[in-house]
Structure 1
Amino acid sequence: MSQRLLSPMVFIWLMFFSVPDGIAATADIAEGNNNKERITDHNVRTAEYTDIRTLASGQELDPVLQYYEDTQAAIQGVPSAALAWQYNLQHKMSFGYTDSVYWFRLALSNPGDRSEQRFLSLTYPVLDHVRVYHRSNEGDWQQLELGDKQSFYQRPVIHRYFVIPLTLAAGDADEWIFRVETSSSMQFPLSIWQERDFFIHDQHQILGMGLYYGIMLIMVLYNLFIFLAVREANYLYYVLYVGSMAAFLGSLQGINFQYLWPTATEWNDQSIIVFLSGVVLFAAIFTRNFLNLQEVNWLNRSFGVIVIASLAIVVMSNIIPYHTMIRVLIATAVIGIGLAIYGGVWRWSQGYSAARYYTVAWSSMLIGGAILAMNKFNIIPRNMFTENIVQFGSALEVILLSFALADRLNQEKRERFEAQIAAFEHEKIARIAQEDALEQERNARLAQEKALEHEREAREAQAKALEIQRKATETLELRVKERTLELEDANRKLEIMSITDPLTNVRNRRFFDQIMQREMARAIREREPLSLLMLDVDYFKKVNDVHGHQAGDEILRVVAQAIRQTVHRNTDLIARYGGEEFILILPNTELSGAMLVAECLRKTIANLSFDRLAEGLKVTVSIGVHGDVPQYQDKPEHWVRYADEALYYAKANGRNQVTHYRG
């Protein structure tokens, strides 16, 4: 992979996963009596409290949290004093997919002489139900309902994560008990923050997310425009895949719930299934078409099964519980990625160059998806790397897949060129075969002459010559017929290419000259009016100098498209005359009608937006028009000169206007 590609990828990686110095906690929790003290409350059980002053801003609270698994969901209200709390020896509160209700306990004290204010941040936004019981020294229990089954606006802090403000007065000891019930993976990543540090860290996370979703949006729009231009279905499947991936991660990270459907709690859970199914569905369709897997029946059928399974999961997700469907869907996705990599390696081994980008892209996605799946099934611990690896992997993947599509397009162009060369070779072979047949005919005639001298030998030679002639004629006819069909097909393709301008996809000047000659003769013969429009892009050289030739080429393509959309009679002709000039033939059109068409063209082009090339960039055109009933002495070049003189007058008179030839 080139250094130009790796450099932005490394930058994106750092933005996704880095945390500013002084914000993230780097110190471990000290052992002993430095940060924990024994506090006895005769009304409740004896508890071990953690000194809040010893907890660094951004520190994860797994080592000081206690938990209890309620397998029967039998505990209602605040747990009793006899509950068997325990610490997590794995140091990460991650338990995979489970039907149990989990309770978590956090006990904090402030033996200092001033009040301490913090934020508790629960950074797993897809938990269904999180009930928070807060107990102070006065013995009062306060209850707070959180979770993605609650309206987003009920949260105490409007944030994509569950954020709880915490104030601990000097000399106080408080206790927080969390009841968590969810159909998603049971993970409880709780951390404590200074308010200022929390929002600084959050801004860096938002910047990383903005970079990621910006990349995804650029890839969607860029490849959507390519699809609209070339009508290649793979670009549409790619756009749908990238859009589904971005939407899935937006739901998983709580962004969609915050900004798109803050009150649609049921759909918020459902959207993860729908969007992830879309990722698997469109990835499978894209792979089948991109790699041309029809040659491998079992692999082609496997992707067909994945497509059907993805659609079935979406339909059944309203019936079967979420935690069951998400497991099936994750397994389907991992299998699909494995098959995609196998198909990419197989096509790569066959010399299909675009498969190299494809294989590397899906390998990065497989690594990211596998790590995320193992994290959700509690095989590996939850941390910033495992939670965001899919973001980085998918960003790298969509960029590489875009390269693969471009490489495939270039390869198809090369194959078309090679087909043209092969057609010329076939024509050469046909000529050689024809010459061979003529030579055989000459030999046959010589044999007939010798037969006159030697009757017996002549009869044998004549029979032999006739047999040779018959076989040669059959072979020649067969070869000529095959070569003729191939040449006719090649000639049709070459003829279209010879009359089309490759940049703007309108007719070229050579074709214009032919049609102009024909239309002029017809108009003279039938005494009908004929109009000619010559159009020139104003200040085009300046646009090229300031914005570059690529921008100039794009302007010519857009202007040509605007002309085609405005002038669409079957009898009309649009051609690129040269440089930034276009010329239009309007048969059976008087000067007044041609002036109306020209003015409509001028306004349409003046209203075009080129902000994607340069903000505020506008393009205007000047148009020269000549229309009349041609006489027998008129020539096509006369009418071109009249239209050109009118165009010259329009440019000399200030540009961005329509002028007709005044004689």
Structure 2
Amino acid sequence: MPKIALLLTLLLTLSAHALNVSVDDGFQQQQLAAGLKYWLTDDHEAKPPSIEASEWQTSPDTLTFGFDKRVLWTHFTLSNSSSKDQALLLEIKYPLLDVIDITITSEMSPPILYELGDTRPLTQSSIQHPHILAPLTVPKASSVNVMMRIHTAASLNVPMTIWNSHEFLEQSQLSIAYYVFVYGILIGIALYHFVLFIQMREFGFLWFSLFIVGLVAIFAYFQGFLTSYVWPQFRDYSNQILVWLYAFTAITCNAYILRTLNVKRYRPSYAMSQYALMAVAFILIALSFLLPYDTMIRLLTLYAAISVVVVISVQIRRGLDRYTPAYYAIGAGIFCAAGMIITILEKTGAVTSTVFTRSAGDVGFTIMAILYALSLSYRMKWEQVQRKIAQQETVDVQADLLKAQTQLNIELESLVKDRTLDLEKANNKLKIMSVTDALTGLFNRRYFDQYFNDQYKISIESKNPIGLLLIDIDHFKNINDTYGHTFGDYCLASAAKRMQTAINTELNILARYGGEEFIIVLPNSNLDATLDTANKILSALKNEPITQGSTTVTMTASIGAVSETPGPHSDPEHIIKKADDYLYEAKRAGRDQTISERSASRT
């Protein structure tokens, strides 16, 4: 509270001295650079000097001070000259600042304090975004004063922009889409080469894939994606994460160069320098737990510069050896070095932070990744050419063997094709067998259940009737007991053929329901049509006796017939139950007849 009270006293007089941003009805955005008042102090507990004090300096451009441990104070004023309240956003485009305290004061509302920063945990009031954001509301015909306190162990680089909220949303979507596009290209390259590694077991593809993943992670770290979206719970370790990522990328890059350019075989002394770089990377990982971040970032910068020099030297040496893949690698190294140098200069404050300097690393590394991929591809192609040359030298000796192998492959392909066709036929046969009754050749109950449920649903949707006939062969047990099961089976098969002829349509299906019971599904069939089919079946069964050898019998059947138009909540089991009940009544009434709702009601 004392801190806020002091700031409130100071900020009430800011409008006369601080940089003033005027917000009108057409306001979209304004960068905060030249004209900003700032003060740097070594005392982390110090309060800012009075506005009239000479300690305040005027920034000629973006606030950029490189690796500076001092606390930075800066302030500005927002004046709303529009006809409505303005909802603005303060964007800090460098997300690696550790501590940012933003105090907003005005004559119309109490002070608002935002405690932001890369090492501070995200809260419910935080705006989740790769960059650091603070909402600013300026009532119409009034102004607010903004005082900022910034401290970081990283580069003290503070590119700021005031945005109209709607304009920021549009531009932010474009910016994120750009980075998703860049990351997508790199991740796509990494996944492609990882798949090649799995297929070919060539470790050059693996190291390159991991190297690209490390690059993407570094990009995402510097742009704020990593600690905002991927690992927000590890923001306390954000400084160490950068060291780990740099070390991981250096290790995989050197492993890739060693493998792709055959450095160990042709230039062992250069290979030793790369192995030394990989060892130092592991040492840096260990030191990240012991040394402060500002020391580590200087060591890391030195290490990165040395790594670039060593890797480019190796690539140039292999290029002088007339090793073609090295030419692509040299181009990749040049773009990487250019992008890294511009990025380092921008992060350390040696050059002004602009769109070009902020994206130089992204563009340079993306081109580098593409050229490295071409280098690896050419190396594989070069090896293929060498293998072809070696094969050509022995082609005469191997001609007969190749001819025999070719013939064997043809025979093998033919055999595989025949076996595949046989397997397809067997599968089709099994599929048919799974829904077919072995004795009668009709559909079995399993097929009936599926077909009936499907047609029942169609009837509900189309509001058309569906008919069902449940058929039981009369006195079939007596036939089995009198003439034997072989003749009984023959009777069932014969009855199935006769019934199939009586209902020969595309939609109507006849299935064996169990034992001597059969069932027929009649889509789009009203009761009259259903009973007509039942009468045809009764006639087909009894009009002509069934004869096998000297044995002759006349078969009849009892039929339960149902036809109804189901409603939305109807149960298909209901219609089966009704058919079964009518079948039972047909048997009880003397058999050789059909009972339906119509005949049951007359009874």
Per the normalisation by structure 2, the TM-score is 0.64
One of 25, 33, 39 as aligned partner of 1:68: 39
Indicate how the Cα distance of structure 1 residues 352 and 154 shifts in structure 2: closer, same or farther if over 3 A, else same: same
Structure 2 unaligned residues grouped into runs of 5+: 1-8, 435-603
One of 286, 299, 310 as aligned partner of 2:270: 299
Offset from partner CA, 1:573-616 (integer Å, 9 cap, x none): xx4348xx5577xxxxxxxxxxxxxxxxxxxxxxxxxxxxxxxx
Residues 23 and 78 in structure 2, CA contact (< 8 A), matched pair in contact too:
no
Q: Who is 1:92 aligned against? A: 62
Deviation at 1:182, TM superposition (A): 0.7
Range with bigger deviation, 149-158 or 78-87? 78-87
User: Does residue 338 of the first structure (1) align with residue 309 of the second (2)?
Assistant: yes
Deviation at 1:499, TM superposition (A): 7.5
Deviation at 1:496, TM superposition (A): 8.9
Residues 623 and 657 in structure 1, CA contact (< 8 A), matched pair in contact too:
no
Indicate how the Cα distance of structure 1 residues 256 and 89 shifts in structure 2: closer, same or farther if over 3 A, else same: closer
Q: Who is 1:274 aligned against? A: 244
Q: How does 1:191-206 map to 2 (within 5 A)?
A: 191-206=161-176
Offset from partner CA, 1:195-225 (integer Å, 9 cap, x none): 1110110111111111111111211111011
Q: How does 1:2-17 map to 2 (within 5 A)?
A: none
Q: Who is 1:351 aligned against? A: 322
Q: Who is 1:432 aligned against? A: none
Residues 128 and 149 in structure 1, CA contact (< 8 A), matched pair in contact too:
yes
CA distance in 2, matches of 1:179, 1:62: 16
Q: How does 1:237-276 map to 2 (within 5 A)?
A: 237-276=207-246
CA distance in 2, matches of 1:384, 1:296: 41
Q: Who is 2:107 aligned against? A: 137
Residues 58 and 191 in structure 1, CA contact (< 8 A), matched pair in contact too:
yes
Deviation at 1:395, TM superposition (A): 1.4
CA distance in 2, matches of 1:88, 1:376: 21
Indicate how the Cα distance of structure 1 residues 265 and 83 shifts in structure 2: closer, same or farther if over 3 A, else same: farther
Deviation at 1:265, TM superposition (A): 1.6
Residues 64 and 87 in structure 1, CA contact (< 8 A), matched pair in contact too:
no
CA distance in 2, matches of 1:416, 1:170: 77
The one-letter code matched in structure 2 to 1:365 is C
CA distance in 2, matches of 1:261, 1:496: 59
One of 57, 67, 91 as aligned partner of 1:121: 91
User: Does residue 216 of the first structure (1) align with residue 180 of the second (2)?
Assistant: no
CA distance in 1, matches of 2:327, 2:335: 13
One of 368, 373, 382 as aligned partner of 2:339: 368
Deviation at 1:89, TM superposition (A): 4.5
CA distance in 2, matches of 1:283, 1:131: 39
Deviation at 1:176, TM superposition (A): 0.9
CA distance in 2, matches of 1:656, 1:101: 82
Deviation at 1:339, TM superposition (A): 2.4
The one-letter code matched in structure 1 to 2:204 is N
The one-letter code matched in structure 2 to 1:201 is Q
CA distance in 2, matches of 1:346, 1:245: 25
Deviation at 1:424, TM superposition (A): 6.4
Indicate how the Cα distance of structure 1 residues 259 and 48 shifts in structure 2: closer, same or farther if over 3 A, else same: closer
The one-letter code matched in structure 1 to 2:290 is I
Residues 509 and 577 in structure 1, CA contact (< 8 A), matched pair in contact too:
no
Deviation at 1:418, TM superposition (A): 1.5
Residues 37 and 59 in structure 2, CA contact (< 8 A), matched pair in contact too:
no
CA distance in 2, matches of 1:372, 1:182: 18
Indicate how the Cα distance of structure 1 residues 657 and 495 shifts in structure 2: closer, same or farther if over 3 A, else same: farther
Q: Who is 2:408 aligned against? A: 510
Q: SS of 1:352's equivalent? A: coil
Q: Who is 2:537 aligned against? A: none
Deviation at 1:495, TM superposition (A): 9.4
Deviation at 1:257, TM superposition (A): 1.6
The one-letter code matched in structure 2 to 1:576 is E
One of 339, 361, 364 as aligned partner of 1:393: 364
RMSD: 3.2
Q: SS of 2:153's equivalent? A: coil
Deviation at 1:385, TM superposition (A): 1.1
Q: SS of 2:233's equivalent? A: coil
Deviation at 1:421, TM superposition (A): 3.4
CA distance in 1, matches of 2:220, 2:201: 29
One of 410, 413, 421 as aligned partner of 1:576: 413
Q: Who is 2:384 aligned against? A: 413
Residues 71 and 99 in structure 1, CA contact (< 8 A), matched pair in contact too:
yes
One of 283, 288, 308 as aligned partner of 1:317: 288
Q: Who is 2:507 aligned against? A: none
Q: Who is 1:624 aligned against? A: 422
One of 271, 278, 289 as aligned partner of 2:259: 289
Residues 38 and 59 in structure 2, CA contact (< 8 A), matched pair in contact too:
no
Offset from partner CA, 1:63-112 (integer Å, 9 cap, x none): 23211101232415x65556545444441211001111111111223355
Range with bigger deviation, 344-353 or 318-327? 344-353
Deviation at 1:372, TM superposition (A): 0.4
Indicate how the Cα distance of structure 1 residues 94 and 656 shifts in structure 2: closer, same or farther if over 3 A, else same: farther
Q: How does 1:25-40 map to 2 (within 5 A)?
A: none
Q: SS of 1:119's equivalent? A: strand
One of 338, 355, 379 as aligned partner of 1:384: 355
Residues 19 and 36 in structure 2, CA contact (< 8 A), matched pair in contact too:
no
- Pairs aligned (count): 423
Deviation at 1:41, TM superposition (A): 8.8
CA distance in 1, matches of 2:143, 2:331: 54
CA distance in 2, matches of 1:155, 1:497: 73
CA distance in 1, matches of 2:327, 2:430: 54
The one-letter code matched in structure 1 to 2:259 is N
Q: SS of 2:23's equivalent? A: helix
CA distance in 1, matches of 2:371, 2:280: 27
Q: SS of 1:382's equivalent? A: coil
The one-letter code matched in structure 1 to 2:315 is G
Q: SS of 1:178's equivalent? A: strand
- Taking every aligned residue pair, what percent have the same amino acid on both sides? 21
Q: How does 1:112-191 map to 2 (within 5 A)?
A: 114-137=84-107, 140-191=110-161
Indicate how the Cα distance of structure 1 residues 256 and 41 shifts in structure 2: closer, same or farther if over 3 A, else same: closer
Indicate how the Cα distance of structure 1 residues 583 and 240 shifts in structure 2: closer, same or farther if over 3 A, else same: farther
Offset from partner CA, 1:317-368 (integer Å, 9 cap, x none): 1111112212222222222223222222222232212112211112111110
Indicate how the Cα distance of structure 1 residues 497 and 106 shifts in structure 2: closer, same or farther if over 3 A, else same: farther
Deviation at 1:154, TM superposition (A): 4.6
Residues 156 and 165 in structure 1, CA contact (< 8 A), matched pair in contact too:
no
The one-letter code matched in structure 2 to 1:327 is R
CA distance in 1, matches of 2:174, 2:368: 23
Residues 112 and 170 in structure 1, CA contact (< 8 A), matched pair in contact too:
yes
CA distance in 2, matches of 1:245, 1:499: 50
Residues 220 and 243 in structure 1, CA contact (< 8 A), matched pair in contact too:
yes
Residues 98 and 183 in structure 1, CA contact (< 8 A), matched pair in contact too:
yes
CA distance in 2, matches of 1:385, 1:303: 31
